[in-house]
């Protein structure tokens, strides 16, 4: 066994005691649905069909980010229609969401990190009329 001094141990440690350990790459989940119950998304039906006039929820879970904000950016047919700034903290899993009432078209929802980097993206199509 090789003896190690306290200073050498601290220098070799991945994080300083008292600091939250932040993974190298953030973990990000993004899902769509109709409502959030108890901080959990109630996902869309199995068909995942959305219709004009529906209010859609973009639900995100993130961990491994520094404290700050993430953004949800909603695009319809390539044009930005909504941007939301959502606070997150370091060292734990954060769940957050936004809602948007949709019109017919092709949608993209992006999750951007505190530095503006794209973390996750999803696309979906909204039909003009419901059943």
* Separation CA 72–CA 85 (nearest Å): 7
Give the number of C-alpha atoms closer than 13 A to the C-alpha of residue 128, restricted to the C-beta side. 0
Q: Give the residue ranges of DSSP H helices in the chain.
A: 6-12
In angstroms, rounded to a whole number, what is the distance separating the alpha carbons of residues 35 and 56? 8
The closest alpha carbon to 61, from 25, 29, 109, belongs to 29
Q: What is the pLDDT along the chain (131 residues), one digit of tens a residue?
A: 555 555 454 445 555 566 555 556 789 999 998 888 887 787 766 557 889 999 999 999 999 888 889 999 999 999 999 999 999 887 788 999 999 999 999 999 999 998 899 999 999 999 887 55
Domains of the chain from N-terminus onward: 21-127 (2.60.40.2550)
Contact assessment for residue 69 and residue 112, using Cβ atoms and an 8 Å cutoff: no
């Amino acid at each position: 066994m090789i003896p190690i001094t306290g200073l050498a141990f601290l220098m070799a440690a991945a994080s300083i005691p008292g600091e939250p350990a932040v993974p190298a790459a953030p973990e990000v989940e993004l899902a769509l649905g109709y409502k959030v119950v108890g901080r959990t998304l109630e996902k869309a039906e199995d068909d995942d069909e959305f219709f004009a006039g529906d209010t859609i929820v973009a639900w995100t879970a993130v961990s491994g980010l520094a404290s700050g904000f993430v953004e949800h950016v909603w695009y319809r047919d390539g044009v930005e229609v909504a941007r939301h700034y959502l606070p997150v903290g370091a060292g734990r899993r954060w769940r957050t969401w936004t809602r948007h009432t949709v019109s017919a078209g092709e949608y993209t929802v992006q999750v951007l990190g505190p530095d503006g980097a794209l973390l996750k993206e999803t696309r979906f199509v909204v039909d003009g009329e419901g059943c």
